[in-house]
């Protein structure tokens, strides 16, 4: 696991730089554009501070890179090579997603064709309860459903299962909490600064 203090410091530095680079004080920016730019800056700062080793970090940046309108800002924040890498990852993910949809259709078709009495192997993670057989099949289905939802919520977790899914989730939640904390203190700092300016003026 990474060093939380160093992560926080790097995150804040990158966030401030990105916000500056995003030109958010420009009066010509629309509301939505500005808000999206802040969100993008924050996400990219978080992901790059975490490092490319974390699947969620790569996936988060790729998600932003997948949208053409973000290209200019991303290039300014990440540099040309950083952007190219993220855009390539986005394209690869899109291709993999299309492939997965095709193969899922094939699997579904073959399940219908084959006998319904085929035993389904349990895909549920090896929780202590499940391992001891104490889980009913309906509880197992619920756990499966929740894991599926988790896979959608954590970026890049679509192909993760069981233990990896949970460790990735843990890592992601810790960083998300930091993101909230840093953005809150930025808001507070900006507000205080404005109040001070107002008092002086």
Partner 1 sequence: MSSRRSSRGAISDEEINELISKLQSLLPNSRRRGSSQASTTKLLKETCNYIKSLHREVDDLSDRLSDLMSTMDHNSPGAEIVRSILRS
Residues between 30 and 69 that touch partner 1 (CB under 8 A): 31, 34-39, 42, 53-54
Q: Which stretch binds partner 1 (CB under 8 A): 58-66, 85-93, 99-107, 132-140?
A: 132-140
Q: Tell me phi and psi for residue 40, to 5 degrees.
A: -60, -45
Give the CA diameter of the chain.
Answer: 79
Q: Are 24 and 38 a contacting pair, CB within 8 Å?
A: yes
Is residue 153 a contact point for partner 1 (CB under 8 A)?
A: yes
Q: Are 121 and 128 a contacting pair, CB within 8 Å?
A: no
Nearest-angstrom CA–CA distance, 120 and 140: 12
Closer of 12 and 77 to partner 1 (Cβ)? 12
Least distance (Å) between residue 113 CB and partner 1: 29
Number of H helices, E strands in the chain: 7, 0
User: Where on the chain is the footprint of partner 1 (CB under 8 A)?
Assistant: 1, 12, 16-17, 19-20, 24-25, 27, 29, 31, 34-39, 42, 53-54, 125-131, 134-136, 139, 142-143, 146-147, 149-150, 153-154, 161-164, 166-167, 169-174, 176-177, 179-180, 183-194, 196-197
């Amino acid at each position: 696991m990474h060093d939380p203090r160093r992560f926080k410091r790097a995150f804040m530095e990158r966030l401030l730089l990105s916000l500056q680079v995003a030109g958010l004080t420009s009066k010509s920016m629309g509301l939505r554009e500005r808000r999206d730019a802040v969100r993008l800056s924050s996400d990219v700062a978080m992901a790059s501070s975490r490092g490319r080793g974390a699947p969620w970090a790569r996936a988060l940046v790729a998600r932003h890179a997948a949208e053409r309108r973000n290209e200019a800002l991303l290039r300014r924040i990440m540099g040309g090579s950083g952007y190219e890498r993220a855009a390539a990852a986005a394209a690869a993910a899109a291709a993999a997603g299309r492939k997965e949809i095709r193969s899922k259709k094939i699997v579904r078709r073959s399940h219908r064709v084959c006998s319904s009495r085929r035993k389904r192997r349990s895909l549920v993670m090896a929780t202590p309860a499940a391992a001891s057989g104490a889980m009913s099949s309906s509880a197992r289905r619920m756990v499966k459903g929740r894991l599926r939802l988790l896979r959608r919520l954590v970026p890049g977790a679509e192909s993760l299962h069981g233990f990896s899914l949970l460790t990735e989730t843990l890592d992601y939640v810790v960083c998300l909490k930091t993101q909230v904390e840093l953005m809150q203190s930025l808001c507070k700092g900006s507000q205080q600064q404005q109040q001070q300016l107002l008092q002086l003026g």
